[in-house]
Amino acid sequence: MTPAFWFDEWKAYAGLFDGHSSSTLPGAIDNGPLVVDIDAETPELKERLLDGTDYELIPAPGYDQLVAWYGGGPRITRHVIALGVSSQLVCEVYPLKLRLVLAPDLATDAVVLHLSKLATIADLRAAIIDALDLDVDNDHVLHCHNFFGDVAAEDLLDPASSDLAESHTLDRACLVHGQKLLISLVPVDGGVASASDSDSIVALVSDSDSDSGADGWNMFPPTTSQWSYSPGGVARRARPLGTAGVERIGAVPGVCGLSNLGNTCFMNSGLQCITHAPQLVEYLLADKHVPEINRDNPLGMSGEVADEFVALLKLMWSGNYASVAPRSFKYTIGRFAPRFVGFGQQDSQELIAFLLDGLHEDLNRILDKPLVPVVEAAGRPDDVVASEAWTGHLRRNDSVIVDLFQGQLKSRVVCPMPDCGKVSVTFDPFMYLSVPVPDGGPRQLTVRVVLADPTAKHVIAKIFAAPGDTVATLKSKVASLVSSDPHRLILVEIYDHKLYKTFDSDYEALADILDEDVLVAYEIPKALATLPPYNPALAQPTFPAPTDATAPPDEAPAASDSDSDSSNTAALKANADAANLPPTTGSALPLSDPRCPYMAFPISHTKLEFRAPRSAFYRASRKPVLTQVAFGVPSLVFLAKPVANQAAVEEALLDSLARYVSRPTDDDLAAAGLVGDSEERAARKAERKAARRAAAKAARTKRRAAHRVKKIQVAERTKKKNAAKAAVREVVAAARAAARGAGVDALDSSDTDDSDLDTPSISGSTLSSLSDTLSTSGSTEIDSSDSSDSDVDWATLGVPEETPTKLVHLGPDGRGPSVDSYIRGRVSAAAETTFVATWNAKLLDACYDTAGADACRAVTELPPKADDEAPNVLSCLRKFTKEEQLGEEDLWYCPDCETFRQATKKFDLYSLPDVLVIHLKRFRQSRYSREKIDVLIDFPLEGLDLGEFLPESAAEQVAGATVYDLFAVSDHFGGLGGGHYTAHAKNHQTGRWHYFNDSSTSVVVGDDDVVSAAAYLLFYQRRGAELHVPNKPPVRPPPASDDGASSASSDRTRGEPEALDDDPTASGAEPFDLDGSDAAFYRV
């Protein structure tokens, strides 16, 4: 490990940073900021250090080489370990930190022990003995008790207590970073090592709410009548029945807490919800899943996830425990999903998704999954396509999870290209619904509108943006306020007087725009927006020879906006007709499209000012310097293709600013001293040229001196290193010779160094001289006190001396492309290309009207009517089924266009499962941050009717099975930086709601306590769904084929349900009509 700041300095020195280099040596490696005490024998790493921000991980040979070159330390070594079934390689930056307390001296400071997660229980035992210097003999037994709050402390070294063998790793033991372990030596006869301190040991792990010694914990109980350990975890002892006035906790099956193993509240919350699904609980408790366990499924977890979940479920529903520690379950899911390894906070929704998928694959009744093609609608009725898709899904997926938790979604995707319009309709299964959450009411955004009319003032438009609005909505509102067409508006974000971002997609969410962002909308001239598409192959533009791109305006060919329109319109229309291009206009094509009939030139404005350096140190020692400063509102200049040259763009820029920018007159030039005695101007030019040559010579001298110093330092270090190696070799050779009884001079020829470095002897005076050269040969400063504007070297700032009377000069922004390269298409128009207009400082005040530039007129949109309906789960579902445009990161591949498109997509619910999981998407990520939406979403505990989201022909609609009742809620409190998960669940045996906060449980007094702004996952059960026997989702008639039904049934080889009788009604089945046809299906 090395400090990140030092590694960045070294990369800059070595030239490994893109666009940044440094000639300064990085110095010795200083790992002091990474450790708590650098003087400690084994320095301990500080907590919560971040990779890439605080430290960098370097392979050991590379670190050794860096230390050989630069020195430093201390050495901090970390190892790469393999975690999980997939053996994912991770660097264990923070090994387990365990705190050892030796009984009976409980008041002494704990001894800190660091062990890898892959260390075994045997390694832990040996490390404890070594760290505490214990003498373990045959008369004493070593105990290592672990405890978590009110959970019983099991003995990690006793397999009968912890279910941990000596070969099991500490990762499986689920020890928490910083966990305290109570170490004791107990005589074999069962007594306590020190009877005088036995009460202290008991008090350390006793119940915090016990009112008598008899109800407290006893670490070494004489009997086990009131002490129970669970398979795969330790269980807390329930209070005895004889305790007066105290109801026995754990007497009700299902009311059982789950111990927090260290940031595992997300897992506890999800488990409490899923273990209260009535049908799933009854199915698993009755062991109906046993013949369906599929241990050979390559997509499954060998049945281990199902085994651990059922074992935990049976403990929770046994009624014997107030809380259990799901240690073995956590270890098992961590083996198959490394993201759940360790004790970092995770998402309960991700845990639920993984658990349901794992249970499904472990209990999948399909042993050999056939290949099933993707089903497309191709114009067929929805009922036929949905049935065919569901039948194909069941040929590969058939389990109790499919029976209970999976429904069917209809997805409709439309290609946005007018000449394509491809419509794709598919039906896909779903296990949960992730619905968007509204994040409050509308907010006001301010947009500055730059109209195409150069004589019109800018417009300050204030509009109201509702949650979920897009850039298209904003453009439409702004266009209505300024009487324009939204297709003629280009929205950009301005930062520091420069174009920072162009909103190319009209469907980008406004949620990514902050209230303080500066937005500007540029209007495309109507004459350009109505032009037909441009065909470069037929236009054959002729570019003039680049004789002088920076010629004065009177010498350059004039090409104003209006002239370009009139000269090119006819040719462009003819080109479009000849090329058979689609009937569209330029405003419908993005700027990046080669067919767009015009070009846009983003231009920021800069002027020259004397300013003090920003650094406080340099402000005290240096004079003000001439600096390029951005000002005003950037311009977006539009010109019809083909554009002549840079001079045409500069003319168009001045034309677009005609309202507050005037052309310089002869009087303005004379007042600025730009016209006059030519000999005087030539003399000043010669002086500036000589000053530039002197500065360049000084810079070359400085670089050469720095190179010599670096070469001398490297030579000195190499010489010292070789001398040290030679001394070591001489000592080793002498020792070997003495051991052989030979003389000291008899050295092995292989031990000699035949590559001595011939380095010159460098005296201290030479280094001192070079250092003086480096300090004295610096850059030339511009002093504002003794330099006038007429003496400024404009050429060094991008303004050519050949055109001193020019008002504005257009050039590239930094290392960006030149204007001519952009015009000739050498740079993609899709790139974030910007240009800089440098204004002549001598003419700026005379020709630029600052007050006129700031003059604007304001328009404001009327505030929208307040929505009387509070956000609820139905409104979230309506937003989920609303048509939306895909984001730029979720492009859809259009088979007709044979490319990715930003298509529109719409979801519809087609069939619903018996157990419906609704995920409220409260966590939102924008360009700047991630945040949580803490708005109250109302949801009913009973009677959630989803009939409005299903088609009329759906089986649920026909049978009236569209009403759902809530049975569990996963809650999240806090934000992204830190939060806590809890759960509310309804016990289907008692009908009462309970609150679960890790290991503690309580009865919910009022149902209103269940509904809160913390609700994150909602679990609903279809009303009237049968318990005990799971109902399969309704299957619509398969397409007419001979092998449809037979192929589906032939794939079911395990857990095959019994065939129905010839007369289904004889067995009590209730028929229902599917779609009004003669076919009838029976729900068993």
Residue 963 half-sphere exposure toward CB, CA atoms < 13 A: 7
How many other CB atoms are there within 10 angstroms of residue 119's CB atom?
A: 18
Question: 332, 346 in Cβ contact below 8 A?
Answer: no
Question: 237, 973 in Cβ contact below 8 A?
Answer: no
Question: 876, 435 in Cβ contact below 8 A?
Answer: yes
Instruction: Please give the Cα distance from 1001 to 254 (Å, whole number).
Output: 11
Residue where a domain terminates, one of 227, 250, 269: 227
> In this structure, what CATH number is given to the domain that contains residue 121?
3.10.20.90
| pTM > 0.85: yes or no | no
Q: Using alpha carbons only, what angle is made at residue 63 by residues 57 and 64, rounded to the nearest 5 degrees?
A: 155
At residue 305, the pLDDT reads: 92
Contacts of 363 by beta carbon, 8 Å cutoff, 6+ apart: 289, 292, 293, 294, 306, 399, 400, 401
Residue 796 half-sphere exposure toward CB, CA atoms < 13 A: 17
Does 243 have pLDDT greater than 60? no
How many other CB atoms are there within 10 angstroms of residue 827's CB atom?
A: 14
> In this structure, what CATH number is given to the domain that contains residue 419?
3.90.70.10
In terms of domains, do 892 and 1007 share one? yes
Q: Respond yes or no on whether the N-terminal peptide bond of residue 61 is cis (omega within 30° of 0).
A: no
Q: Which of 147-161, 477-491, 786-800 has the highest mean pLDDT?
A: 477-491
142 DSSP β-pair partners: 185
Per DSSP, 197 falls in state G
In terms of domains, do 883 and 1003 share one? yes
Instruction: Please give the Cα distance from 539 to 541 (Å, whole number).
Output: 6
Per DSSP, 938 falls in state B
In terms of domains, do 64 and 110 share one? no
Is residue 794 situated within a structural domain? no
Is residue 238 situated within a structural domain? no
At residue 194, the pLDDT reads: 39
Phi/psi region, residue 632 (left: phi>0; alpha: psi -120 to 50; beta: rest), is left
Residue where a domain terminates, one of 26, 49, 77: 77
At residue 241, the pLDDT reads: 26
Determine which helix (DSSP H) or strand (DSSP E) holds 328, and give its type and residue range: helix 327-336
Q: Report CA Rg, the chain.
A: 39
DSSP assignment of 501-539 equals EE---TT-BGGGS-TT-EEEEEEPPHHHHTSPPP-HHHH
- C-alpha closest to that of 184 among 176, 173, 192, 174: 192
Single-letter residue type at 458 = H
Higher pLDDT, 272 or 181: 272
Contacts of 33 by beta carbon, 8 Å cutoff, 6+ apart: 3, 46, 54
First CA to last CA across the chain, in angstroms?
64
In terms of domains, do 894 and 975 share one? yes
How many other CB atoms are there within 10 angstroms of residue 285's CB atom?
A: 15
Q: What is the mean pLDDT of the chain?
A: 74
Single-letter residue type at 514 = L
Q: At 193, list the tokens.
A: 């090592």
pLDDT category at 503 given cuts 50, 70, 90 is confident
pLDDT category at 86 given cuts 50, 70, 90 is low
In terms of domains, do 58 and 93 share one? no
Q: Using alpha carbons only, what angle is made at residue 29 by residues 25 and 31, rounded to the nearest 5 degrees?
A: 145
Is residue 452 situated within a structural domain? yes
In terms of domains, do 415 and 503 share one? no
> In this structure, what CATH number is given to the domain that contains residue 32?
3.30.2230.10
Is residue 334 situated within a structural domain? no
- C-alpha closest to that of 175 among 213, 146, 203, 139: 146
Instruction: Please give the Cα distance from 800 to 649 (Å, whole number).
Output: 17
Q: At 244, list the tokens.
A: 């007066």
Task: Specify burial of residue 750 (Cβ count, 10 A radius: 0-12, 13-18, 19+).
Answer: exposed
Does 850 have pLDDT greater than 70? yes
Is residue 606 situated within a structural domain? no
Q: Where are the beta strands (DSSP E) in 891-1035?
A: 892-894, 899-901, 904-911, 915-921, 923-925, 930-932, 944-945, 963-974, 979-986, 993-997, 1000-1003, 1015-1022
Contacts of 880 by beta carbon, 8 Å cutoff, 6+ apart: 433, 434, 435, 436, 907
At residue 565, the pLDDT reads: 40
3-class SS at 904? strand
In terms of domains, do 891 and 990 share one? yes
Range of the domain at 203: 89-227
- The model's pLDDT over 341-370, given as tens digits with 9 standing for 90+, comes to 766 678 889 999 999 999 999 999 988 888
Is residue 1083 situated within a structural domain? no
- C-alpha closest to that of 145 among 107, 99, 209: 99
Contacts of 569 by beta carbon, 8 Å cutoff, 6+ apart: 527, 531, 640
Instruction: Please give the Cα distance from 829 to 876 (Å, whole number).
Output: 39
Q: Could you identify the residue written with the tokens 């298509």? A: 903
Q: At 322, list the tokens.
A: 């107030």
Contacts of 743 by beta carbon, 8 Å cutoff, 6+ apart: 737
Lowest mean pLDDT among 165-179, 284-298, 680-694, 731-745: 731-745
Q: Which of 460-464, 505-509, 693-697, 759-763 has the highest mean pLDDT?
A: 460-464
Per DSSP, 287 falls in state T
Does 32 have pLDDT greater than 70? yes
Higher pLDDT, 678 or 1: 1
Residue where a domain terminates, one of 43, 77, 111: 77
Instruction: Please give the Cα distance from 490 to 596 (Å, whole number).
Output: 14
Instruction: Please give the Cα distance from 262 to 96 (Å, whole number).
Output: 13
Single-letter residue type at 497 = H
In terms of domains, do 447 and 420 share one? no
In terms of domains, do 1021 and 874 share one? yes
pLDDT category at 145 given cuts 50, 70, 90 is confident
In terms of domains, do 469 and 425 share one? no
- C-alpha closest to that of 451 among 267, 643, 635, 652: 635
Parallel, antiparallel or unpaired: strands 151-155 and 140-148: antiparallel
Contacts of 364 by beta carbon, 8 Å cutoff, 6+ apart: 292, 294, 297, 299, 300, 397, 398, 399
Does 232 have pLDDT greater than 50? no
Determine which helix (DSSP H) or strand (DSSP E) holds 153, and give its type and residue range: strand 151-155
Q: Could you identify the residue written with the tokens 């971040």? A: 50
Does 497 have pLDDT greater than 80? yes
Lowest mean pLDDT among 40-49, 795-804, 985-994: 795-804
Q: Where are the beta strands (DSSP E) in 706-834?
A: 808-812
CA distances from 1061 to 503, 1030, 1049, 1058, 1066 (A): 64, 19, 17, 9, 8
Does 604 have pLDDT greater than 80? yes
In terms of domains, do 885 and 957 share one? yes
Q: Which of 34-48, 55-69, 73-87, 240-254 has the highest mean pLDDT?
A: 55-69
- C-alpha closest to that of 246 among 292, 207, 281: 207
Higher pLDDT, 768 or 174: 174
Instruction: Please give the Cα distance from 461 to 481 (Å, whole number).
Output: 7
Per DSSP, 341 falls in state S
Tell me how far the alpha carbon of residue 33 is from its chain's centroid: 28
Per DSSP, 844 falls in state H
pLDDT category at 928 given cuts 50, 70, 90 is low
Q: Where are the beta strands (DSSP E) in 243-303?
A: 257-258
Instruction: Please give the Cα distance from 981 to 974 (Å, whole number).
Output: 9
Could you give the number of structural domains in the chain? Answer: 4
3-class SS at 265? helix
Instruction: Please give the Cα distance from 78 to 58 (Å, whole number).
Output: 10
Is residue 50 situated within a structural domain? yes
Does 700 have pLDDT greater than 70? yes
Is residue 663 situated within a structural domain? no
Instruction: Please give the Cα distance from 761 to 719 (Å, whole number).
Output: 10
B/e letters for 129-151, b = 16+ CB within 10 Å, e = fewer, are eeeeeeeeeeeebbbbbbbbebb
Q: Could you identify the residue written with the tokens 């004493």? A: 140
Tell me how far the alpha carbon of residue 863 is from its chain's centroid: 35
Lowest mean pLDDT among 33-37, 164-168, 795-799, 876-880: 795-799
pLDDT category at 1058 given cuts 50, 70, 90 is very low
Task: Specify burial of residue 86 (Cβ count, 10 A radius: 0-12, 13-18, 19+).
Answer: exposed
259-280 average pLDDT score: 90
Q: Using a pLDDT cut of 70, give the percent of the chain over it.
A: 70
- The model's pLDDT over 959-1011, given as tens digits with 9 standing for 90+, comes to 778 899 999 999 998 876 668 899 999 999 889 999 999 888 999 887 778 99
Instruction: Please give the Cα distance from 511 to 436 (Å, whole number).
Output: 13
Determine which helix (DSSP H) or strand (DSSP E) holds 934, and give its type and residue range: none
Higher pLDDT, 51 or 247: 51
How many other CB atoms are there within 10 angstroms of residue 601's CB atom?
A: 23
Per DSSP, 777 falls in state S
In terms of domains, do 1004 and 909 share one? yes
